[in-house]
A = this chain, B = another copy of it.
């Protein structure tokens, strides 16, 4: 292994996320987390003040990942603002597959989806992740496309909302249950997303060949 072994503190966070995202914060006991890591529950208190402290650390992590995504969005802005239909669809499918369905992020989303009902912080991160950050990015993309003449005078903010609503719809439709997404479900989701994005493209975006 060239990778240094993870510190216990990180192992605890990973194990806690694994458990929280399925059973919810309060169902999971410190014992459960300790067992998953392979240490006694009392040892956890060396790394974290209490159980709530673990949850808050996971919220902090989620926030960081969301901000990272924001940076990635900004860096990729140039790449996505020139467009063909196939590339446009590919970008949306990639957003679903390598972000919303990426293992760690997906676990965070599942956890946030449960805790947002109780925790204002969780609710705020959920909003950032599913609305604030992507909407701003999409708006930037569509603004550029409009400036380049690919879109006929349409409101970029509305286009962003419409686009994100499609993403959200497919995500919730296919990945809201307790099971880990099967290959068949992933394929169905990919297909429906492609169809809806193709429609979106044809309706709103003029190709250079049109």
Chain A residues in the interface with B (C-beta under 8 A): 21-24, 26-27, 110, 113-114, 116-120, 123-124, 126-127, 130-131, 158, 161-162, 164-166, 168-169, 172-173, 176-179, 192, 195-196, 199, 203
Contact = CB atoms under 8 A, between A and B. Distances in A.
21 contacts: A21-B117, A23-B118, A24-B24, A24-B26, A113-B114, A118-B178, A123-B176, A123-B178, A124-B177, A127-B173, A127-B176, A131-B173, A158-B196, A158-B199, A162-B166, A165-B165, A165-B168, A165-B196, A168-B169, A169-B169, A172-B172
A164 B170 CA distance: 11
B162 A172 contact: no
Main secondary structure of the interface of A (DSSP, over half): helix
A114 B113 CA distance: 7
Nearest to A203: B203
Q: Among A23, A114, A124, find the residue whose CB has the most chain B CB atoms closer than 10 A.
A: A114
A176 B124 CA distance: 9
A156 to B, nearest CB: 13
